[in-house]
Structure 1
Amino acid sequence: MAEAHQAVGFQFTVTPDGIDLHLSREVLKHIYLSGVTSWRKRVIRFKNNILAGVYPASPSSWLIVVIAIMSTMYTRVDPSLGMISTIKDTLPVSDYMTVQTQTVLSAILFATGVWLSLIVLLRYTLKALLSYHGWIFEPHGKMSLTNKLWLSLVKLLSGRRPLLYSFQASLPRLPVPSVEDTIHRYLESVRPLLDDEQYKQMETVANEFKKDPAPKLQKYLIFKSWWATNYVSDWWEEYIYLRGRGPIMVNSNFYVMDLLYVVPTHRQAARAANAVHAMLQYRRRLERGEHAPMRALGVVPMCSFQYERMFNTTRIPGIDTDFVQHLKDRKHLVVYHRGRFFKVWLYYGGRHLWPSELEFQFQRILNDTTEPQPGELKLAALTAGNRVPWARARLKFFGEGVNKASLDAIETAAFFLTLDEEEHGYRADKLDSLDHYAKSLLHGKCFDRWFDKSFNLIVYKNGKMGLNIEHSWADAPIIGHMWEYVTATDCFQLGYTEEGHCKGDVNKGLAPPARLQWDIPAACQDIIESSYSLAKEIADDVDFHACIFNEFGKGLIKKCKTSPDAFVQLALQLAQYRDKGEFCLTYEASMTRMFREGRTETVRSCTNESAAFVRAMEDKNSTNEQRLELFRKAAEKHQNMYRLAMTGSGIDRHLFCLYIVSKLLSIDSPFLKQVLSEPWRLSTSQTPQQQLNLIDIQKYPSYVGAGGGFGPVADDGYGVSYIIVGEDLITFHISSKFSSPETDSYRFGQNIRQAMLDIRALFHQNEKRQ
């Protein structure tokens, strides 16, 4: 009963002489250590907030300015042009402040003002430099003298060793494109999808919108761009994510897989322990702002705003809209196993639990043979169904008593961990192994993930793991950054013993994980079953195929002197045409994080140029030289569109915000209504790879990530996520719906493979002729 003794802080007995207290030294020691840790955190955060607050200057530069100003006083030179004397005259005269003290204090105040002015000047200069994007439009590997000079200035003003949030105040605002440019690019993007008559109709509707009401809507949008930090992101989060009343499972949440080939240990508790400990290390650095900011070319900073809500965050359901609840430094996580919920403390004596201690705690949960309480098994299905029933059930059944306490434990946890009973992962001898792995991460059993948490860590019985991520708080590159840190730390820093256990001694005196208690009435259980039935219907309809393409990769594509992303996107267009016999509206996600609080923009990958290339590939009368020429034009067009999207000149976010303004003003726009209702029958996204470069995949080629994916966006379309890994591997994650007779994920995967090989053949044949 060591745990019971640890849980008692003090004992007391009543004697004739009064109350006799018996304090526990061990508990008092832990209280003291917790206090020290807490104050240490506050000091570090305060210091880092100051460092980020004065960046690109440093606190030591203030002292230099003060000394410089003070030294001029002894040379009888007044650099303040009389301002020091003016400040001196305004200071109160007293017995404690001599004339000399007044002079020194006046000089310090003036120097501080100069220092702050220099910081503002440096920031606005850096912001002006970062507003220039000409460098991104230059051919890869080439840079003009102007851009080299610009890059040198950015480096000079960027300071040394920036923290995660150092550049936030220097990032430019996302610009509002002109209505004319947006409509022109929109019409160009839909031309390959419409016949002549349909295009003329669309052109007429678009031109009418351009005349009225577009100018009025644009004025409101420009005003918002002046007032708000970002004119898109808050509306995007609210209207695209939080106001959706349908299930977020499959429809919104996405997943990330583990390393493709490597399983460092097959012990479930040990793998979970190392991963959780690595996440805690990452969170500590994140909360202190100590991660280095991501920078394009190693120089141009990306916005770090989305990182703030990675941990301690939950999407809370509402009747009309959800909201994102973010808390500070939660000290526990909630673990789900075989229908039971457990609360596990992550700290002991003011420090994180060591991996060996976490393994001990997780093994206790795995060894627990108790049965779920009534209604507990499928409770999490509430987060997988429609949002309104979940919101009403939350208000009615989880507002008091044990249900409130247990729900609070889940919603305030650092994150959610599922110790899954199944075994998953890539197996070379089982072709559909990745398909089942993907579906498990995406939806599981529909009741064994808490889909409202910022992310769920899922660890399988065989030691494989992955993430399921709620989408409203951030986009894939953010969680990918953390996941790279976790997998690298797990394998190359923490490691395992020869038996597969976590390294380190085990403290068996830890209090055991606490079972969360529930009192779920029959009426609530009916709602749970209803949500589960809907979620299971959605999950069963997901047709998933994950395929490994290892014929070639980034290495060969770069030798062809083209963009790897453009190569894959054109292959997807060719595969789509072969699969369905027609072109479709295609979505590719790009990022706008070069602007403050930027999130994503859409690249419309189906263009006139890509359509011409695809038709040439299917035309037996076309020569390979013609096809290759059309491919290069289409690839260049795609790259240019991607660059425009990254630099704030995309189409869809602007049209989306114009639509929101029109709805707020009760203005009916047939053009905007039609644009926003068009289905994305091919939705694509590239998973970022090697953001941190913590794993040398040249040295350790088997330690490559498998990427991640998402559910189908359109009922009769495909969702395709891909990750270009290293030099010779590309992994595709393809989703569609079984209920659609037009789609088949495996068939589409085969079409992608053949399209990739056919495009490569163009270059090989061209090389032979040369």
Structure 2
Amino acid sequence: YFGAAVAASAAFYSKFSDRGLLQMLPLLGNNALPKSARIGVASILTAYLPVVFSRFILTHFYFTYKRWLFENPKKPSLTTKLWGIVRFLLSFAPPIQKSCDSLLPTMPVPVIEETVKKYLESIRQLHSKEELVAIEQKAEDFLHGEARKLQRYTLLYSLFVDNYVTGFWEKYAYLSTRSPLLINSSVCNLDQFRNSPATQAFRAAHIAYIEMLSQLAVDKQHLVPPGGGMVCTRHYDRLYAVTRVPGKNVDWLKNYGIARHIAVFYNGGIYKVNVVDENNTIYSVDQIADIFIELLNRPNTKVDGAEGKIPALTHDARPNWHANRRRFFENIPQNAKALREIERAAFIISLNSFDDWEYDQSDPDKLSRFGRSSLTGEGADRWVDKSINYNISRNGGCSGTEEHSVVDGSE
């Protein structure tokens, strides 16, 4: 669109050289520059200035306006009505997935005194009077000490980034933690509260098919941004083929881009399952289900001993997993290749032996067992470094186990 606007402007100024910006701007109206250069500059300005003006209006009025949240919806103010008109007009050209991310307001830096005041109020019910006196004294010392310097640094840093919290929160709240992830920061989600008529193979195939379509939609920016573009979508980039790599002192996230395969855990074995053909077409649900049916019907697939519990290494404290990763995988070429295939997979599907993943009003304990086993599984079938682990039970129940840092703080 921008190129077409520049071309149209150039054609206009070539025919009417005494109109528009060529007449309004003295520099472009005199003969100090060649005619072609003057037309080129005027054309670019004519096409670009409306874009700048539109972005300014969207950023500083539309996306930052919040008063409508606190007004009576039946008696909105004039400003809210104008905001609603803009929203209605924008609905005729709905945003694509990431088109509004750069227009969203930056994270504001709060006043340090207000932050300390709210902190003290939030802990008032958690401490005794003596403890509160000591904490308040420390807060006062902080305000008269390094608080001012930290506030200035934060304000300066916020001028160059969209969210000054992201880097600190992601690194120090998540990636720097040295504790085991599964029981400290990993999260799980449960199936919908109705029984699924699908078998284990078809449920796994359905999940694999939908998620591969979702990966493709994220890459092509076909997903509808939440809130009409008012919610940042950067975390979508970390959903698939992303692995948290353990480090000695701090971890880091590695994104492998578009993946053509998934990793499947079954009976202690780890399988690479291609779900995209040589023509880059995702297999159908029936085709993927045939793969899972064949795997589930294989005789003597049980992998016993330590070889059947390899994913349990990722459950350990991060320094231990970092050391074991180097010892057992990175320093052995064959194992390093297998590790890359696991980490490059779009996501992981674990076919487990549970057969009671369901919601039963007459037996509430089933839901508790569902949630508990969804997070920890059988103790050795969750690769906790991966962004997404899907877990499918024998009765077709489904849950997910996610690595927390990939979606928290990335906006």
> Which residue is 1:327 aligned to?
256
Alignment of structure 1 residues 79-158 onto 2, 5 Å = 79-81=20-22, 89=33, 103=36, 107=39, 110-129=42-61, 130-138=63-71, 143-153=76-86, 155-156=88-89
For 1:417 and 1:141, locate their aligned partners in 2 and report how far apart those are by CA, in whole Å: 49
CA gap 1:268/1:243 in 2 versus in 1, 3 angstroms:
same
CA gap 1:397/1:300 in 2 versus in 1, 3 angstroms:
closer
Structure 1 or 2, whichever has the larger Rg, is 1
Contact 2:95 2:229 in 1 (8 A): no
Select between 187-196 and 466-475 the one with higher mean Cα deviation: 187-196
Paired residue secondary structure (1:417): strand
Aligned residues: percent identity? 29
Alignment of structure 1 residues 517-532 onto 2, 5 Å = none
* Match for residue 292 of structure 2 among 349, 354, 362: 362
How far did residue 336 of structure 1 move? 0.5
CA-to-aligned-CA distance 1:117-156 (integer Å, 9 cap, x gap): 3323322321112233333333566532222223434554
Two-structure CA RMSD over aligned residues (Å): 2.5
> Which residue is 2:224 aligned to?
292
> Which residue is 1:390 aligned to?
321
> Which residue is 1:74 aligned to?
15
For 1:213 and 1:256, locate their aligned partners in 2 and report how far apart those are by CA, in whole Å: 42
How far did residue 303 of structure 1 move? 0.6
Counterpart of 1:375, as a letter, is A
Q: How many residues align?
A: 403
Alignment of structure 1 residues 184-223 onto 2, 5 Å = 184-223=117-156
How far did residue 389 of structure 1 move? 1.2
TM-score by length of 2: 0.90
> Which residue is 2:272 aligned to?
343
> Which residue is 2:395 aligned to?
462
Contact 1:62 1:112 in 2 (8 A): no
How far did residue 192 of structure 1 move? 3.3
CA-to-aligned-CA distance 1:527-568 (integer Å, 9 cap, x gap): xxxxxxxxxxxxxxxxxxxxxxxxxxxxxxxxxxxxxxxxxx
TM-score by length of 1: 0.50
Paired residue secondary structure (1:462): coil
How far did residue 116 of structure 1 move? 2.6
For 1:87 and 1:394, locate their aligned partners in 2 and report how far apart those are by CA, in whole Å: 69
Paired residue secondary structure (1:348): coil
Paired residue secondary structure (1:256): strand
For 2:12 and 2:161, locate their aligned partners in 1 and report how far apart those are by CA, in whole Å: 43
Paired residue secondary structure (1:428): coil
Counterpart of 2:301, as a letter, is T
> Which residue is 1:646 aligned to?
none
Where does the alignment leave 5 or more consecutive residues of structure 1 unmatched?
1-58, 91-101, 476-591, 599-770
How far did residue 158 of structure 1 move? 7.6
Contact 1:254 1:471 in 2 (8 A): yes
CA-to-aligned-CA distance 1:103-127 (integer Å, 9 cap, x gap): 4x86355323432333233223211
The answer to whether residue 231 in structure 2 is matched with residue 302 in structure 1 is: yes
For 2:361 and 2:124, locate their aligned partners in 1 and report how far apart those are by CA, in whole Å: 43
* Match for residue 435 of structure 1 among 362, 365, 368: 368
How far did residue 275 of structure 1 move? 1.3
Contact 1:457 1:465 in 2 (8 A): yes
Paired residue secondary structure (2:164): coil
Counterpart of 1:404, as a letter, is A
* Match for residue 407 of structure 1 among 311, 316, 339: 339
For 2:245 and 2:317, locate their aligned partners in 1 and report how far apart those are by CA, in whole Å: 13
Paired residue secondary structure (2:291): helix
> Which residue is 1:15 aligned to?
none
How far did residue 228 of structure 1 move? 2.5
CA-to-aligned-CA distance 1:324-344 (integer Å, 9 cap, x gap): 110111111110000011111
Contact 1:69 1:79 in 2 (8 A): no
Contact 2:109 2:155 in 1 (8 A): yes
Paired residue secondary structure (2:124): helix
Contact 1:378 1:447 in 2 (8 A): yes
> Which residue is 1:352 aligned to?
282
CA-to-aligned-CA distance 1:409-441 (integer Å, 9 cap, x gap): 101111011011111121233221001100111
The answer to whether residue 340 in structure 2 is matched with residue 419 in structure 1 is: no
How far did residue 465 of structure 1 move? 0.6
For 1:387 and 1:421, locate their aligned partners in 2 and report how far apart those are by CA, in whole Å: 28
For 2:74 and 2:174, locate their aligned partners in 1 and report how far apart those are by CA, in whole Å: 39
Contact 2:97 2:233 in 1 (8 A): yes
Higher relative contact order at CA 8 Å, sep ≥6: structure 1 or structure 2? 2
How far did residue 210 of structure 1 move? 1.6
CA-to-aligned-CA distance 1:217-271 (integer Å, 9 cap, x gap): 1111111111223111111111111111110002111111111013131x11111
CA gap 1:88/1:114 in 2 versus in 1, 3 angstroms:
farther
For 2:55 and 2:183, locate their aligned partners in 1 and report how far apart those are by CA, in whole Å: 42
How far did residue 172 of structure 1 move? 1.3
Where does the alignment leave 5 or more consecutive residues of structure 2 unmatched?
none
For 2:179 and 2:301, locate their aligned partners in 1 and report how far apart those are by CA, in whole Å: 34
Paired residue secondary structure (1:163): coil
Counterpart of 1:361, as a letter, is I
> Which residue is 2:311 aligned to?
380
Paired residue secondary structure (1:362): helix
> Which residue is 1:271 aligned to?
203
For 1:262 and 1:425, locate their aligned partners in 2 and report how far apart those are by CA, in whole Å: 6
Contact 1:332 1:344 in 2 (8 A): yes
Select between 72-81 and 214-223 the one with higher mean Cα deviation: 72-81
Contact 1:123 1:169 in 2 (8 A): no
For 2:251 and 2:16, locate their aligned partners in 1 and report how far apart those are by CA, in whole Å: 65
Counterpart of 2:293, as a letter, is Q
Contact 2:180 2:316 in 1 (8 A): yes
> Which residue is 1:316 aligned to?
245
How far did residue 187 of structure 1 move? 2.3
CA-to-aligned-CA distance 1:2-27 (integer Å, 9 cap, x gap): xxxxxxxxxxxxxxxxxxxxxxxxxx
For 2:177 and 2:189, locate their aligned partners in 1 and report how far apart those are by CA, in whole Å: 23
CA gap 1:111/1:291 in 2 versus in 1, 3 angstroms:
same
For 1:371 and 1:262, locate their aligned partners in 2 and report how far apart those are by CA, in whole Å: 28
Paired residue secondary structure (1:343): strand
Counterpart of 1:275, as a letter, is I
Counterpart of 1:269, as a letter, is A
CA gap 1:65/1:227 in 2 versus in 1, 3 angstroms:
closer
Contact 2:101 2:229 in 1 (8 A): no
How far did residue 194 of structure 1 move? 4.1
CA-to-aligned-CA distance 1:704-760 (integer Å, 9 cap, x gap): xxxxxxxxxxxxxxxxxxxxxxxxxxxxxxxxxxxxxxxxxxxxxxxxxxxxxxxxx
Contact 1:316 1:324 in 2 (8 A): yes
Select between 361-370 and 158-167 the one with higher mean Cα deviation: 158-167
**Which has the larger share of strand?**
1
> Which residue is 2:115 aligned to?
182
